[in-house]
Amino acid sequence: MLEIVFDDDDDDDDDDISSNVRKGSGTTSLCVTYKPDGEEVAVATLEWTDHLLQLAFTSLCYTADGKCILAGGQSKNVCIYNVQEALLIKKFEITQNRSFDAVDDFINRRKMTEFGNLALVEERETGEGGKAVLRLPGVRRGDMAARAFKPEVRVFCLQFSPTGQAWAAATTEGLLVYALDPGLVFDPFELELGVTPTSVRTTLQAQENSKALMMAIKLNEKELIQEVIEGIPYKDVELTVRSLPEPYVERTLKHVSVALESTRHIEFYLQWVQCLLTNHGPRLRAAKATRPGVVPVLNTLHKNLARRHDELSKICDFTKYSLRFINRLGELKLKDNGPDEKQEDDDSDVLMSDNS
C-alpha cells in the first residue's frame, strides 16, 4: 500500500511527520521518501491489494515538481501515481521474459487439475528401490545442479531525472531508461489559422521578431523555433524578450535550455538566458507553485549550463597552459642563442631600413 503523509504545520518539526507515520496502518514499512519541498512523505507498506497482482513497493521516487510519484518493487510493473488525486496514471511493464517468476498474470488453465496448478509441482526423479530423490536446498548429498528454480523479477531502485522527461530503473533485466520524445508528436500551442512554417519565415524576414517567435512556438516544432531564435539579431534579443507575453516565456526558456546542450553559439544563447531571467525571473519564481512545468525547465537550464561550463573550463585550461609552454620555450630559446644572434638580428633590421 502507498500512503502519503502531509505536514500541515508551519513549524519545521520532523517529529510531527514521524508521529504521523507511526500512527499509520501499523504494518511493516518497506520504503520511505520525501517530497522535494519537504512537505510530504510517502511510505510503502505491505497492505497492497490489486485485482490481478499481489505486490509490494520497495522503491519510491517523486517527480521534480512533486505532482507524481514513481513506485516499483516485487513486481514486473512500475507504476506512476498522481499524488493529489491518488490515482494510477500509467503502469509500465519492465519485462516479458517468462523465464522469470511472477511474470505471468494468469494461470494456464491447461495445467489446472483437481490437485491444483501443475506448474507449481516440482517433478522428482525416482532412484533405486523406488525412492524419490528430494531436491532440497542445503543437503550435502545428491546432485545440487538438478534443482531447478526461476529467479524472481525485481525493481531494486527508481530515479526520476531532474527535468522530469525521463526516469531510470535498476531491475533484474538491467538498467532501464524511459524517456519522452516530444519530437515524434505534433503538439501545437494555441494554434491559429494561417500559422504555417512559410508564414513564420516570412514574418522573420520582415523583422517582426516577437511575432515570428510566437508563431513558431504555436507550431511547437523544435527545428523551426531554433531557426527563428538564431535568426534574430544579437542586438534585438532583449527587445524581443521584453515583448513576449507570459505564456510564451516559459516555452522560449525551455527551447533555449535544451539548445544549450549541443549548440555552438554559446554566447548567443547565454544572451537569451540572461535577458529571459532578468526580465521575467521574478514572475517565473512566483509561478513555480501554480505552473509545475517551470521547475523542470530551470533544472534543465542548470544542468546544461554546468555541463558547458565544465567543457569550456577544460578547453581554457588546456589553452592557458599551452600558451605558457610556448612563451617559456621562446624565452629558453633566446637564452640559449645568446646576445650575438640577437645583435645580428638587430643589424639585419637596420640594413633593411637603410635599403628602404
For 330-353, letters b (16+ CB in 10 Å) and e give eeeeeeeeeeeeeeeeeeeeeeee
Looking only at the bridges linking them, the beta strands covering 112-113 and 87-93 are unpaired
Residues 6+ apart with CB under 8 A from 240: 209, 210, 213, 232
Residue 39, phi-psi category: left (phi > 0), alpha (psi -120 to 50), beta (remainder): alpha
CA distance 180 to 74: 25
Please provide the DSSP assignment of 4-46 as one string.
EEE--SSS--HHHHHHHHHTS--S-EEEEEE-TTSSEEEEEES
CA distance 80 to 92: 8
Output the CATH code of domain 2-99+152-180.
Answer: 2.130.10.10
Is pLDDT at 230 greater than 60 in this prediction?
yes
Sign of CA dihedral 6, 297, 167, 266: negative
Is pLDDT at 233 greater than 60 in this prediction?
yes
- Closest residue by Cα to residue 39 from 56, 62, 55, 73: 62
**Lowest mean pLDDT segment, chosen from 14-18, 141-145, 171-175:** 14-18
Which pLDDT does position 53 carry in this prediction?
A: 39
Q: What is the pLDDT of residues 2-27, one digit of tens each?
A: 655 555 444 555 455 444 444 445 56
Which pLDDT does position 135 carry in this prediction?
A: 55
Please provide the DSSP assignment of 277-299 as one string.
HHHHHHHHHHTTTT-TTHHHHHH
Contact of 271 with 237, CB cutoff 8 Å: yes
Domain boundaries, the chain: 2-99+152-180, 197-307
User: What is the identity of the amino acid at 218?
Assistant: K
Strand (E) or helix (H) holding 156: strand 155-160
Residue whose cell numbers read 544579437? 234
Strand (E) or helix (H) holding 87: strand 87-93
Alpha-carbon Rg of the chain, whole angstroms?
A: 33
Contact of 203 with 216, CB cutoff 8 Å: no
Output the CATH code of domain 197-307.
Answer: 1.25.40.190
Residues written for the chain:
356
pTM above 0.75, yes or no: no
Q: What is the pLDDT of residues 34-85, one digit of tens each?
A: 888 778 888 887 764 333 334 578 888 888 888 888 888 888 888 888 888 8
The pLDDT confidence band at residue 345, using thresholds 50, 70 and 90, is low
